[in-house]
């Protein structure tokens, strides 16, 4: 299998981005989706990707966080798969940060979104073992919440406050179609 250009909002193929995803009942299917997500994320870049973004309405997403020399505060999560995730709790404390998405105008549009600083998540790992993680890093929590939104048929634009739409910004040089 090869990298799949993420589905885009506003296109017929992107309709899957607005559907509720179904639970994974066969772990082998989940692992196959994780591998497709990994290939796509490796090719196009980014810190996370959910199955609906590659046209599969299943409850699976991946996160890939590795600090570099310029961002030593980022947790070294590496590549992690979340199968059938369930957000158990989120912190009341939030932060506002610009988010973009590989499925929103090819990762060129960014807007301010408030997200919880911390969360608790239950999921299956790629071995089928149930896990519960407490995420206490605001950016790591943001990525998980963003990807989990995709499983519930939402994109970050739907989380924006109406008054913040005037501050959306465009980053044409980040267009993933140029890869």
- Residue 165's contacts (CB-CB under 8 Å, 6 or more residues apart) are 111
What is the DSSP pairing of strand 119-124 with strand 130-135?
antiparallel
What length is written for the chain? 179
Distance CA 24, CA 60 (A): 8
Catalytic one among 147, 163, 171, 172? 147
Token pair belonging to 166 = 């005037």
User: Residue 152, CB half-sphere, CA atoms under 13 Å: how many?
Assistant: 13
Is 99 tagged catalytic?
Answer: no
What residues are annotated to the active site?
A: 147
């Amino acid at each position: 299998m090869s990298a799949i250009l993420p589905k885009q909002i506003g296109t017929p193929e992107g309709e899957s981005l607005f559907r509720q995803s179904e639970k994974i009942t066969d772990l082998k299917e989940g692992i196959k989706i994780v591998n497709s997500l990994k290939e796509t994320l490796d090719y196009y870049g980014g810190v996370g990707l959910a199955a609906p973004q590659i046209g599969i309405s299943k409850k699976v997403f991946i996160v890939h966080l590795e600090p570099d020399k310029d961002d030593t505060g980022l947790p070294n999560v590496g590549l992690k798969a979340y199968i059938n995730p369930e957000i158990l709790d989120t912190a009341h404390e939030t932060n506002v940060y610009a988010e973009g998405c590989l499925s929103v105008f090819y990762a060129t549009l960014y807007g301010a979104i408030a997200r919880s600083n911390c969360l608790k998540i239950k999921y299956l790992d790629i071995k089928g073992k149930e896990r519960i993680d407490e995420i206490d890093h605001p950016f790591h929590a943001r990525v998980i919440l963003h990807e989990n939104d995709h499983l519930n048929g939402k994109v970050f634009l739907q989380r924006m406050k109406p008054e913040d739409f005037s501050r959306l910004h465009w980053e044409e040089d980040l267009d993933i179609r140029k890869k």
